[in-house]
Amino acid sequence: MPTNDRRSFLKMTALAGAFSTNSLFRQAHAADWEAASRAVGHLDSGTIAQNEDYWSVIQRSYSVSTQIINLNNGGVSPSPIVVQQAVERYNQMTNEGPSYYMWQILDQGREPLRHKLANLAGTSAEEIAINRNSTEALNTIIYGLPLKAGDEVVGTKQDYPNMMNAYRQRAERDGIVYNQISFDFPIEDNDVIVKAYEQAITPRTKLVHITHMVNWTGQLMPVQQIADMAHAHGCEVIVDGAHSFGLLDFKIPDLHCDYFGTSLHKFLAAPIGSGMMWVKKDKIEKIWPLTCYGNPRSPDIRKFEALGTRSFPIEQGIGEAINFHEAIGSRRKQERVFYLKNYWAMRVKDVPGVKLHTSLDPRFSCAICGVSIEGVTSNQLMTTLFDRYKIHTVGIDYEKIHCIRVTPHVYTTTADLDKFVGAIGEIAASKKS
Ligand SMILES: Cc1ncc(COP(=O)(O)O)c(C=O)c1O
């Protein structure tokens, strides 16, 4: 089959997956989405990224506020309506008899869900554990690795605080050595990043920690290159994929890492409080579970799921989010969100006093972009945007990074981004006058 035909065939197959199940997604969206997809089926994903008719169908599948413009989808994303409905349905069912409906009915859905997540991640289902967020996934690995006093870990000062604090706790408790390198982002040369990691590795380094998409300013890290280099030095590699999974078009094995954790309530738009952990099959046995398990040295990935009573409706709602995601497709989603980021960033980058803190090149960025205005603190900018324009962003003041972080999602309209661009222009002009 020629490459183009094969690609369309694969796209159609992925789409068929989302539509073929008797899901809420199918009931709500099959007709509209099939028609919208047919209308753009002959176009490549870069062109579809700019097709507002196609994306308007997706925008209508959300119930986001009309009172505010939410540009902090990097923090947590809203779920599409069908995902909310699934959670509500499972919640109502649960409350008709919790111990029966949770432990005998909804619990039956965990294994099919594991397979569905594994299919999306491109891994074996026997390597996927379902939990509540990236913090839980990555802390399980950080605390569970059999590291001993003097063993070294290399990370960066730009990693997420919950992971940095876990390493610090291990340093205090177990005497491991936590070495943090630091970057001045944006960087548009992957070799610079890989070299900085390599220089920090010593013969005692056992683990290298990489944040796939850096939360502060959205830098995309060259995970595969760093992982290959780290493995050549005999180190294992753990990846924080909080922002990358469900956004970037990749499969976990592409990263060449050993451990991966993510939050499904970010770009996958699954119910809030859902996460996933991936551990390479032959490494499962040696990781201690964070909570208890009858046989903690078991090679069964399910040993990480002894989390006690938790929300089964949230967990089962993940399935509808995967249906929703697959009906768009990872490549289309990545390109659209990148397009939206550059749509606003290109329009403000030359405004006097405005500074971008993120690359505009798709090799180094996607959804997240930092922006600041000379003479305005991050907090002032965030507050002014909300008070005057009802635009919600997040102010970042961390180490040398001072900006607001702006993150659109698939439901974000270009009209809303035009309002944001106008607001930045007005605030910058008021500082100049
Ligand atoms: C890079 C990164 N890792 C981990 C997390 C933690 O995510 P969660 O709060 O869902 O555990 C975040 C949260 O924003 C993040 O940005």
Which atom of ligand 1 lies nearest, measured to the CA of 137? 11
Determine if ligand 1 sits within 6 Å of the CB of residue 160. yes
Which residues 6+ apart lie within 8 Å of 360 measured at CB? 342, 345, 346, 349
Tell me how far the alpha carbon of residue 262 lies from the centroid of ligand 1, in angstroms: 8
Tell me how far the alpha carbon of residue 136 lies from the centroid of ligand 1, in angstroms: 10
**Amino acid found at 82:** V
Determine if ligand 1 sits within 6 Å of the CB of residue 134. yes
**CATH class for domain 332-432?**
alpha beta
Q: Which two three-digit tokens encode residue 95?
A: 């409350």
Q: Which residues pair with 220 in a beta bridge?
A: 213
Q: Whose CA is closest to atom 12 on ligand 1? A: 242
Exposed, middle or buried: residue 104 (CB in 10 Å: 0-12, 13-18, 19+)? exposed
Which residues 6+ apart lie within 8 Å of 319 measured at CB? 23, 86, 109, 112, 113, 116
d(CA 383, CA 139): 33
Among candidates 276, 277, 269, 242, which has minimal Cα distance to 328?
Answer: 269
What is the residue whose two structure tokens read 């379902």? 130
Edge-first strand order for the sheet with 394-398 is: 354-356, 369-373, 401-406, 394-398
Q: H or E element: which one contains 45?
A: helix 45-48
Round to the nearest angstrom and report the end-to-end CA distance of the chain.
62
Which atom of ligand 1 lies nearest, measured to the CA of 215? 16
Tally Cβ neighbours within 10 Å of residue 130: 22
- Contact 268/325 with Cβ under 8 angstroms? yes
Tell me how far the alpha carbon of residue 378 lies from the centroid of ligand 1, in angstroms: 20
pLDDT in single tens digits along all 433 residues of the chain: 444 444 443 444 444 444 555 677 888 887 888 889 899 989 999 999 999 999 999 999 999 999 999 999 999 999 999 999 999 999 999 999 999 999 999 999 999 999 999 999 999 999 999 999 999 999 999 999 999 999 999 999 999 999 999 999 999 999 999 999 999 999 999 999 999 999 999 999 999 999 999 999 999 999 999 999 999 999 999 999 999 999 999 999 999 999 999 999 999 999 999 999 999 999 999 999 999 999 999 999 999 999 999 999 999 999 999 999 999 999 999 999 999 999 999 999 999 999 999 999 999 999 999 999 999 999 999 999 999 999 999 999 999 999 999 999 999 999 999 999 999 999 999 987 7
Determine if ligand 1 sits within 6 Å of the CB of residue 215. yes
Give the pTM: 0.94
Tally Cβ neighbours within 10 Å of residue 193: 22
- Contact 104/94 with Cβ under 8 angstroms? no
d(CA 236, CA 155): 12
Residue ranges covered by each domain of the chain: 106-322, 332-432
Which atom of ligand 1 lies nearest, measured to the CA of 159? 1
Tell me how far the alpha carbon of residue 34 lies from the centroid of ligand 1, in angstroms: 34
CATH tag for 106-322 (out of 3.40.630.30, 3.40.50.10320, 3.40.640.10, 3.40.1010.20): 3.40.640.10
Please report the DSSP string for 228-296 in residue order: HHHHHTT-EEEEE-TTTTTTSS--GGGGT-SEEEEETTSTT-PPSS-EEEEE-GGGTTTSPPSS--SST
